[in-house]
Structure 1
């Protein structure tokens, strides 16, 4: 009986479980925006809204774990405008999600994936130590906060926008992880209410979320430990390469349908 209520596509789990592990590692503070990998991989076999609905309860739990582990280490000046701005993005996503066709959502996820991978690859070639830390600009806070809220709502892909916003400020590993945890704890809890009102949760998505929860919890604690111990450069490069390939595939398959 339980098997009939869970997602039955084997490839969803074959690709989705490692992708969720990457996401939870990122939630734990190991990796810059690696959470964007999960939806593109899972979306190869399921509709994007269903994938997002499966992941959201799991991510809310991992957010709370990360928030507790990095309590008091977030950068409030950077969050003060970004969090309210995210509500604008979430509101726009609430209005848009039922009006965008599945093919357009897949295309958007593909474009986000490729753009994030491109930015990360080219950024590693710069000499960051020679760059001055920028001043905090309210317009930038609002833009990236709203963009992160919107892309998070539509495809659980809010990390790239927030990462692009935070990276220039050169936060310590733990401050970066704490700031990210605080932002997405608020964003995902807000999304949880919006998704409930929109009726996007089903018995199947919730049971599948429950099945995947142990993987996410394990990955989050692993990310917390790795945040303190490892140089993540090679890990980031490999993840960006994977993300680039997935993004190109999603764009190609979407354009085939559109054209």
Structure 2
């Protein structure tokens, strides 16, 4: 049974603990999705739907902490259309959960992520972030782009906890400061994951065992989140942007590799 396997299998936690530390550290420190590699690692021992179900309550806890830490630092002009669009994506994910091949979805997200980093690094003078946060609203938010990336992030987050690359591709061109980038991402995924929590509950995906496993992993996530907060304060803004692109490249490559292994 899943319960005996998860509670007693040491290798499950050997993979889960470092993966979850990456997830929570990136959430607390960068507002960026190192955590997208958590699902493939944990899925070596459990099916992906069960991994996503286990991670969701843990992510909701860290989302609330990150939301408090970065309160007032998010950019509402960038969120006011993206969050409703994400709800649409979550609705589509609820309908498509048992019909869409996850491997092709991961492959598409991975290819887009790698191509985005390639294009940004070819034009570094246009990608350099600001050294200080801007107080004025972010100008020239294109509704079509906002709606597309918001819905894509919500959909891929629902299907495979892979919503971060899409949101990152939407946010990075605005050259936000460290705290604004992290705050905007924290606010977005707090809304997304709490909505997913309701959807997963309606679908009956939570069990006593998945909730117990989530509880066991939560202290690890809290540790990583607070470590991320400390690191964020010491990070140079330009370095932050380059590091963000590097993380996105790793995420994209990982998604492509794991997807092709399944497809081929």
Give the shorter-chain TM-score range: 0.7 to 0.9
Once the two structures are overlaid, the 10-residue window that deviates more, 198-207 or 40-49, is 40-49
Q: Provide TM-score, normalisation by structure 2.
A: 0.85
Displacement of 1:226 in angstroms is 0.9
SS in 2 for 1:167: helix
Q: Provide TM-score, normalisation by structure 1.
A: 0.86
Mark the CA change 1:106 to 1:135 in structure 2 (over 3 Å): closer, same or farther. Answer: same
Displacement of 1:241 in angstroms is 6.3
* Residue of structure 1 equivalent to 2:132: none
Displacement of 1:3 in angstroms is 6.9
Give ranges in structure 2 of 5+ residues lacking alignment.
130-137
CA distance in 1, matches of 2:254, 2:261: 11
Displacement of 1:43 in angstroms is 2.3
CA distance in 2, matches of 1:121, 1:207: 41
* C-alpha contact (below 8 Å) 1:70/1:178 kept by paired residues: yes
SS in 1 for 2:81: helix
CA distance in 1, matches of 2:87, 2:79: 13
> What do you get for the CA RMSD once the two structures are aligned?
2.6
2:228 aligns with one of 212, 223, 228: 223
SS in 1 for 2:80: helix
Give ranges in structure 1 of 5+ residues lacking alignment.
none
* Residue of structure 1 equivalent to 2:30: 30
Residues 94-152 of structure 1: per-residue CA shift (max 9 Å, x gap): 0011223xxx2134234424542453355334314478987211111111111111011
Mark the CA change 1:175 to 1:199 in structure 2 (over 3 Å): closer, same or farther. Answer: same
Matches within 5 A, 1:1-259: 4=4, 6=6, 8-30=8-30, 32-100=32-100, 104-120=101-117, 122-129=119-126, 135-230=140-235, 231-232=239-240, 239=247, 242-243=250-251, 246-256=254-264
* C-alpha contact (below 8 Å) 2:28/2:182 kept by paired residues: yes
SS in 1 for 2:16: helix
CA distance in 1, matches of 2:89, 2:80: 16
